[in-house]
Amino acid sequence: MESIQSTKQRFGIIGNSITLNRAIEKAIQVAPTDISVLVTGESGVGKESIPKIIHSLSHRKHGKYIAVNCGAIPEGTIDSELFGHEKGAFTGATQTRSGYFEVADGGTIFLDEVGELPLTTQVRLLRVLENGEFIKVGSSKVQKTNVRIVAATNVNMFEAINKEKFREDLYYRLSTIDINLPPLRERQEDIHLLFRKFASDFALKYKMPTIKLADEAILLLKKFRWSGNIRQLRNVAEQVSVLEQNRTISSDTLRAYLPSNNINLPAVIKTTKSENDFSSEREILYKVLFDMKSDLNDLKKLTMKLMKAENVKDIQKDNEGLIQKIYGENDTPQYDNTNDLEVLALSENKSEIIEEIKTDKYHFAEEIEEVETLSLHDKELELIKKSLERHNGKRKLAADELGISERTLYRKIKQFDL
């Protein structure tokens, strides 16, 4: 079996961290088999090196090796790219075409960004993994292929499964062996080694002296979070190599090439509005409406007492707290003789009013429900309008922010005539 060190030299892999060595060791061990492998890790950690190691150390090394970036192929053509199509299968299909699975028969296919595959394509891929069968687009003939599939993704697969964006059965078929590559911030001892390698490569490429980092610049390099991982480190090394005249780089000089808000900060928390946010808003709205209903009931009780009473001032004194709650301390109504006469006039017909209230004992509740429905309608309309404005009319982004499906949002837009 090939050693880890010789494999790293052969494929130009720089670093001595334990997690990196463990990932390479797993790749070496699994290479002689035909087991499907899923390579996981953040964007820019070098996932594409693992399938190359697996293919070159397998019995398929003399067969074809095809790398496919699933995220770069449009959804409408990805089935044709992977499985081929028959002449006339769709507009523009002027001739029969072989797909990658047919061309790579006997070799290895690397499916990069496999988490971006459409669900319909995932079903076809699952069939290939289960029995090696596929059907070209526009054909009814079942074809056989013998390929080794190595996939890679930077997507959280369990989260994608929970959101029904990735099939659970396909995930377990792909991840018979899971090889995780660590982010660069967890390989601090390798950061300076990689930077020196890139600086040497660019000095040779651009025919100039190699840049060197001062001690404080090395510390800054290790503290940086490197959200773009090795790819970002390589870009910084290239920029500094080309633009700086002084070949000894200080920490101040290096800091100018690094985003100032990205030095070992905690992970960014997702701020997209969730369904829970809207639930809390609804709860607040309901509370306001129920408080309104309670105030109306209190007002109803006060009105009944006024209609039954002989002396209005006594009622005002006895119900001072209730009156202040309804009208406020500064707006408490002051009754005079004129008001007494108005109330007495009202009292003459009090038997009719009381009878009407008794007959329609739910009329206040009906008014509250009507107000509630109207308020919720307006609130929903306002939220949809603001979200669409924020995202310049892009329904998919607005639907994600609102926590609803794009189809539901489209129906609401038609309903509210937006």
pLDDT along the chain (418 residues), means of 10: 88 93 96 96 95 96 96 92 93 92 96 95 96 94 96 95 95 95 94 96 95 95 94 96 94 92 51 53 72 76 69 64 58 48 47 51 44 59 82 82 80 77
Structure confidence at residue 370 (pLDDT): 42
User: Residue 143 forms beta bridges with which residues?
Assistant: 134
Q: What is the pLDDT of residues 286-310, one digit of tens each?
A: 777 777 777 777 777 777 767 666 6
Give the Cα separation of 67 and 63 in Å (integer). 13
Q: CA 10, 14, 15: angle at the middle one, nearest 5?
A: 130
Domains 4-182 and 185-255 share a fold: no
Q: Whole-model pTM?
A: 0.62
Helix, coil or strand: residue 47: coil
What fold does the segment set 185-255 form as a domain? Helicase, Ruva Protein; domain 3 (1.10.8)
Compute, in degrees rounded to 10, the torsion defined by CA atoms 150, 155, 159, 160: -70
Give the Cα separation of 237 and 192 in Å (integer). 11
Structure confidence at residue 313 (pLDDT): 64
Structure confidence at residue 139 (pLDDT): 93
Characterise 410 by phi-psi region: left (phi > 0), alpha (psi -120 to 50), beta (else): alpha
Contact 214, 250 (CB under 8 A): yes
Task: Give helix 395-402 / helix 363-390 axis angle, nearest 10°.
Answer: 130
User: In residues, how long is the chain?
Assistant: 418
Identity at 170, one-letter amino acid code: L
Q: CA 112, 116, 122: angle at the middle one, nearest 5?
A: 95
Contact 139, 96 (CB under 8 A): no
Q: What is the DSSP string of 135-183?
A: E-BT---EEE---EEEEEE-S-HHHHHHTTSS-HHHHHHHTSEEEEPPP
Compute, in degrees rounded to 10, the torsion defined by CA atoms 72, 77, 83, 84: -120
Give the Cα separation of 393 and 378 in Å (integer). 19
Q: Where are the alpha helices (DSSP H) in 182-274?
A: 188-206, 215-223, 229-243, 251-255
Locate the domains of the chain by residue range. Answer: 4-182, 185-255, 275-407
- Radius of gyration for the chain, computed over Cα atoms and rounded to the nearest angstrom: 35
What fold does the segment set 4-182 form as a domain? Rossmann fold (3.40.50)
